[in-house]
Amino acid sequence: MKVRENCAIALVVILCFFGKAFATDVAGVVNGIWMKPSGEALWFSINNNNAAAFCQKGWDGMQFFVPTSDPNFPYYYGLLVASLTKSVPIYLANMSFYSNSLACDITQTGYGVALYSP
């Protein structure tokens, strides 16, 4: 019985590892930002065409968004504006979480956004 339990635990660990290992990330410079008139979300796009495989484009090609209700909204806003104004690349991890059926709320991937040094 103990061997069966250990095998089950090992299988769960392996599946979790490989599930994370094959996640797809995208990077690029923010090339557009739009605040929805209702003020509910900040939308943006990046200059990486591979992102279209995961996130459906919306108005004016914007395919990512951050809800203004998110407690980390000021952090996201600062990083996105820095990328846009200084042409600094950002990194969006685990985008394969999405299936290209909707635009992507980057607060839902569990990783947020990272800003690269130029």
Indicate whether 103 belongs to any domain: yes
| Spatial distance between the Cα atoms of 111 and 96, rounded to a whole number of angstroms | 12
CB 29 within 8 A of CB 22: no
**Bridging pattern class, strands 64-67 and 26-35:** unpaired
Indicate whether 10 belongs to any domain: no
Q: Residue 86: give the domain boundaries.
A: 24-115
Predicted pLDDT of residue 103 = 83
| Spatial distance between the Cα atoms of 15 and 54, rounded to a whole number of angstroms | 22
Indicate whether 8 belongs to any domain: no
Indicate whether 43 belongs to any domain: yes
Indicate whether 76 belongs to any domain: yes
Indicate whether 4 belongs to any domain: no
Indicate whether 94 belongs to any domain: yes
Domain count, the chain: 1
Q: What does pLDDT average to over the chain?
A: 78
Predicted pLDDT of residue 23 = 66
Indicate whether 13 belongs to any domain: no
Ramachandran area for residue 60 (φ above 0: left; ψ -120 to 50: alpha; else beta): left
Using 50, 70 and 90 to split pLDDT, how confident is the model at 21?
A: very low
Worst-scoring range by mean pLDDT, 6-10, 47-51, 79-83, 108-112?
6-10
CB 33 within 8 A of CB 42: yes
Percent above pLDDT 90 for the chain: 36
Mean of the pLDDT values across residues 83-102? 82
Q: What is the CATH number of the domain that holds 40?
A: 2.40.50
